[in-house]
Amino acid sequence: MSLVGKKFPNFSVNAMNEMGDTFKVNVFEEATKNNKKILLFWYPKDFTFVCPTEIHSFQEALSKFEDKNTMVIGASCDTPEVHFAWLNTPKDDGGIEGVTYPLLADTNRNLANALGILDISNERYDEETGLLMVDGDNVTYRATYLIDEEGKIFHESVNDMPLGRNVNEYLRLVDAYTHVQQKGEVCPANWEEGKAAMMATREGVASYLSN
């Protein structure tokens, strides 16, 4: 079930940064108390292959997000200690050294469960034990959330494990949502900052399509 239009879950999760500090992050409060948009992206596991390409790409775009009053947060179900080890592994060795935004360590999977993004395709009921078993790793898909200054989710997307994200698309979505907030106009297909938007009326659509 889509969470777009709903408030982001309001509870704290352990996190790690590049300095080795373990602390709590409440995504909802980061948005509402600091009057910021949040981009939260989940990846399956540390020390893997597609994941570092995404993590470095978000780092490269970090200043662009910050210029748009948007905080970037990464997340997986790995422990803070594993995060820190990966943060101290050089890029040439498959690490994410140089990444400065926080990484959530949702080891108890409370937040991932609340969002419904865990891969449950490998769950099965074991008749002998009467238990629900998981074959393989109980990790998240590549889920992404954009959250506004009131803690409301205005975008969500979920990719399967092999499919990396397009970071520029999230910059575009932040621009579009900000335009809607500031101008009261809606953003048509393929809209980018600086292009014409339109009013959400029949006349507005007709005028836009005729130009």
Active site residues: 51
DSSP state of 36: -
Place of tokens 């200054």: 149
The CA-atom distances, in angstroms, between 190 and each of 136, 187, 195, 197, 208 are: 39, 8, 9, 10, 13
> CA-CA distance, 28 to 7, in Å (whole number)?
8
Nearest alpha-carbon partner for 15 in 29, 4, 2, 5 = 29
Token pair, residue 28, equals 């909802």
